[in-house]
Amino acid sequence: MRCPRCGVDNPAKNKFCGECGFPLKQPIDKGRVEMVKQEIPESLVKKILYVRDTIEKEHRDVSVVFADISGFTSISESLDPEELTELMNKCFRKLGRMVYRYEGIIDKFIGDCVMAIFGAPIAHEDDPERAVLACLDMQNAIEEINAGLDKSLKRLQIHSGINTGKVIAGKVGSDLQMEYTVMGDTVNVAQRLKDQAPPGSILVGPETYRRTKHAFDFMPLEPMRLKGKAAMVKPFEVIGKKWGSEFGLSIVHSDLIGRNQELSLLKQGYDDLIKGRSSILIIKGEIGVGKSRLLYEFRKYLTIYAPEGAIIYGRGFSYESAIPFKSILDSLHRFLIEENVSSREEDKKIIKEKLVALMEEEGVEVLPYLYKFFNIELTEAQKEKVRHLDSHSLQLQIFLAIATLLEKLSDKKPIIFIFDDIQWFDSASIELLNFLLPLIKKRRISFCLSYRLGDLSAITNLLKNIKDEYPDYTKEIPLKNLSPEDSMLLIENLMGKDVDEGLKRYIIEKSQGNPFFIEEIARNILESEAYKKGKGLTRKQIEIPGSIEAAVSSRIDGLNKEAKYLLKIASIIGRNFPETLLEELIKDRDIYQNINELEQTEILVRINKDNETYYAFRHPIFQEVTYHSILKSERVIYHKVIAETIEQKFTDRLEGISSILAHHYYYAGNTDKALSYSIKAGDEASALYANDEALLYYNQALEVATTEDV
């Protein structure tokens, strides 16, 4: 471990630094957590309170951050204790803010090191990205603090470690004072990475790297042996944000498959625009279905075949929806600057020149408002002009000024806005977008918008307005999962043509043709040691990739406590089940409202068959992720209850009852019953000459008979 005072590396077992005697093992500081908690923004408090009652011990996929500030000790020689405490409090409060900004939580302080968690209790699909962003922001925060320090003092520095993976998360300690924490190897590795990180650097583990490499530049480091780990770990050092990573798409892995029709609708929209017919094109679809990819292909086409147009591209981010105008401001900024210019001041200078040139003589009136929007310093005379405006009037003037800017620009060339993920636009940008829509009726300006199905509360009004006011201008392009044939092609593109047929079918079954799921499952398989060694994989060995798990968990975390409980029970029962079985299992609660919620959020689908209502998981992955989040010890109990309930009351109401019971008894640990039901299922199948199935059940019986433990 590196000594925070003198920087010398010490053997991990040392309690004190061998060089200067500084204590290396620091106590956990609870008071500091309480102080930093005061920085939690209201919106995050609400979200935590919302999930609070649903928190149980469970498996979660999280990113763990350890960030350590060094330099306080040497500063302490020049400051009196009170000043030092004040400085430290200021630092830690600032760091807390950087964590909360991305909806992570502070787990604990160990000396001058903060441990933060992203992904629990609130999950986001992009938690690894949030963790890296938080660490980069922490570095900036420390720089700001340094800038305010007396020149004679030594600079503070921060070094961090981030690791992503499975943990057991949940409440510890007494129930009254909720304390949330995570445990497991993932945490230990994050801490060790932090120990190895030189001052001023951020080291991440391989899974964090894999899930964020589309957004940041990294430098690979030599594999390291971390204390307590048998295998070597390959860390990566974060260099910074990747320029152009705002395209909402990781590296392109396969040629585009299908989507001819959708792409030609977009091209048609552009041809119409050239001819003077503006439109609003709306792409909508589930997570990972290919919205960003379609937009990427469209933009690629426009850059090559439509150089006469102005393409203004923007994207909503799940973690930036609280920054006013961020989404549209960034897109216009990028449009005006075109390439990365090194400093903010230079950027502003270029924007200013471009605005002046674009607006010409008669546009001078609106320049102050455009400067306000782009955060450019106003002249004294301009300041005078805007001074008397209240915030509402100022906003209106800014909106009008941007509309004027676009009108001017559209006189020169047709404009197409391409906005991806508008469900994550900040509310000011959505308002501005709404304000700009009427331009399509009089100018060569079109909008191509995409949004993800799910929580659409932020854009409900915008969508309604488009529907009500611009029906003749609007074209909706709903994106569906790939067909089995196209899925097959995608898998072959990703994994090679000679992939085992069974494996291909398995991926299609799991992913249901969702390209993101296909890519992630394929990558997981390709990277698994067994596959690399050519040993082949059994179905049981194939795990759900963390990225998919995170996407699913973030949906499940939005459910209320009862619905989440119901989903857990449902996931143990299986892919589909009769409503009456759920009723029987959850007797004392009103299940209908919760089933309704699960149906509304498109997690379950209702199926009516033979006068009975059944429910099925719309996506098998939702069942699997929910199932695996439940601790094994709990699952055993539920399997037992489910098996007994089915055995007592449902034997004549379910198809393939013997195999269902074999499954539940097997996982309930009742091998006798599991064995007899597996044989029975095999006998039943062979009586019907269903030989493949019969073989499956007999094999299952054989497996049960020879397995000691599940």
Ligand X SMILES: Nc1ncnc2c1ncn2[C@@H]1O[C@H](COP(=O)(O)OP(=O)(O)OP(=O)(O)O)[C@@H](O)[C@H]1O
Helices (H), 71-205: 72-76, 81-101, 127-147, 185-196
**Which region among 142-150, 167-175, 287-295, 533-541 touches ligand X (by CB under 6 A)?**
287-295
Cβ proximity to Mg ion: between 2 and 291 the closer is 291
Q: Are 139 and 148 in contact (CB under 8 A)?
A: no
Q: Are 522 and 552 in contact (CB under 8 A)?
A: no
Q: How far is the CB of 266 from Mg ion (least distance, A)?
A: 15
348 binds, among ligand X, Mg ion, none (CB under 5 to 8 A by kind): none
Closest residue by Cα to residue 314 from 328, 295, 294: 328
DSSP annotation string for 190-219: HHHHHHHSPTT-EEE-HHHHHHHTTTEEEE
Cross-strand bridge partners of residue 474: 280
Q: What x-and-dash track marks residues 198-237 binding ligand X by CB under 6 A?
A: ----------------------------------------
d(CA 152, CA 150): 5
Helices (H), 460-560: 460-469, 484-495, 501-511, 515-527, 529-532, 546-556
111 binds, among ligand X, Mg ion, none (CB under 5 to 8 A by kind): none
Cβ proximity to ligand X: between 511 and 659 the closer is 511
288 binds, among Mg ion, ligand X, none (CB under 5 to 8 A by kind): ligand X
256 binds, among ligand X, Mg ion, none (CB under 5 to 8 A by kind): ligand X
Residue 258 interacting with ligand X (CB under 6 A): yes
C-alpha distance from residue 274 to each of 265, 270, 280, 605 (Å)? 14, 6, 14, 43
Q: What x-and-dash track marks residues 433-452 binding ligand X by CB under 6 A?
A: -------------------x
**Which region among 29-37, 253-261, 584-592, 629-637 touches ligand X (by CB under 6 A)?**
253-261
Cross-strand bridge partners of residue 28: 110
Q: How far is the CB of 420 from Mg ion (least distance, A)?
A: 6
257 binds, among Mg ion, ligand X, none (CB under 5 to 8 A by kind): ligand X
Q: How far is the CB of 522 from Mg ion (least distance, A)?
A: 19
- Options 157, 208, 292, 429; binder of Mg ion; rule CB under 5 A: 292
516 binds, among Mg ion, ligand X, none (CB under 5 to 8 A by kind): ligand X
**Which region among 247-255, 425-433, 590-598, 621-629 touches Mg ion (by CB under 5 A)?**
247-255
- Options 206, 248, 316, 368; binder of Mg ion; rule CB under 5 A: 248
Chain residues 402-431 in contact with ligand X, contact rule CB under 6 A: 421
116 binds, among ligand X, Mg ion, none (CB under 5 to 8 A by kind): none
686 binds, among Mg ion, ligand X, none (CB under 5 to 8 A by kind): none
Cβ proximity to ligand X: between 14 and 318 the closer is 318
Q: How far is the CB of 356 from ligand X (least distance, A)?
A: 37
Closest residue by Cα to residue 643 from 667, 612, 672: 667
Question: How many CB atoms within 10 Å of residue 596?
Answer: 13
Count of residues in contact with ligand X, rule CB under 6 A: 24
**Which region among 287-295, 370-378, 384-392, 643-651 touches Mg ion (by CB under 5 A)?**
287-295
Cross-strand bridge partners of residue 113: 68, 110
Residue 290 interacting with ligand X (CB under 6 A): yes
Chain residues 325-344 in contact with Mg ion, contact rule CB under 5 A: none
Cβ proximity to ligand X: between 107 and 421 the closer is 421
Closest residue by Cα to residue 659 from 693, 636, 627, 622: 693
d(CA 427, CA 424): 9
Which distant-in-sequence residues (6+ apart) come within 8 Å of 235 by Cβ?
A: 193, 196, 203, 204, 205, 206, 221, 224
Q: Is 592 exposed, middle or buried (0-12, 13-18, 19+ CB in 10 A)?
A: exposed
Strands 310-315, 280-285: parallel, antiparallel or unpaired by DSSP?
A: unpaired
Cβ proximity to Mg ion: between 76 and 318 the closer is 318
165 binds, among ligand X, Mg ion, none (CB under 5 to 8 A by kind): none
Q: Is 84 exposed, middle or buried (0-12, 13-18, 19+ CB in 10 A)?
A: middle
DSSP annotation string for 585-603: HTTTS--HHHHHHHHHTTS
d(CA 219, CA 181): 31
Which distant-in-sequence residues (6+ apart) come within 8 Å of 338 by Cβ?
A: none
Alpha-carbon torsion 331, 341, 298, 216, what sign?
A: negative
Q: Are 439 and 407 in contact (CB under 8 A)?
A: yes
**Which region among 80-88, 247-255, 352-360, 375-383 touches ligand X (by CB under 6 A)?**
247-255
Cβ proximity to ligand X: between 257 and 685 the closer is 257
3-state DSSP assignment of residue 643: helix
d(CA 387, CA 379): 12
Q: What's the N-to-C CA distance of the chain in angstroms?
A: 40
**Which region among 2-10, 168-176, 512-520, 606-614 touches ligand X (by CB under 6 A)?**
512-520
d(CA 615, CA 625): 17
Residue 574 interacting with ligand X (CB under 6 A): no
Which distant-in-sequence residues (6+ apart) come within 8 Å of 343 by Cβ?
A: none
**Which region among 243-251, 397-405, 410-418, 634-642 touches ligand X (by CB under 6 A)?**
243-251
Chain residues 369-408 in contact with ligand X, contact rule CB under 6 A: none
**Which region among 71-79, 255-263, 390-398, 660-668 touches ligand X (by CB under 6 A)?**
255-263
Region at 67 (left for phi over 0; alpha for psi -120 to 50; beta for the rest) = beta
Q: Are 201 and 87 in contact (CB under 8 A)?
A: no
3-state DSSP assignment of residue 472: coil
Residue nearest to ligand X (CB): 290
Cβ proximity to ligand X: between 10 and 327 the closer is 327
490 binds, among Mg ion, ligand X, none (CB under 5 to 8 A by kind): ligand X
Chain residues 476-505 in contact with ligand X, contact rule CB under 6 A: 490
**Which region among 94-102, 252-260, 328-336, 455-463 touches ligand X (by CB under 6 A)?**
252-260
Q: How far is the CB of 290 from Mg ion (least distance, A)?
A: 8
Residue nearest to Mg ion (CB): 292
Residue 249 interacting with ligand X (CB under 6 A): yes
Chain residues 144-183 in contact with ligand X, contact rule CB under 6 A: none
Chain residues 516-535 in contact with ligand X, contact rule CB under 6 A: 516, 519
Residue 259 interacting with ligand X (CB under 6 A): yes
Binding site for ligand X (CB under 6 A): 248-250, 252-254, 256-259, 285, 287-293, 421, 452, 490, 515-516, 519
Binding site for Mg ion (CB under 5 A): 248, 291-292
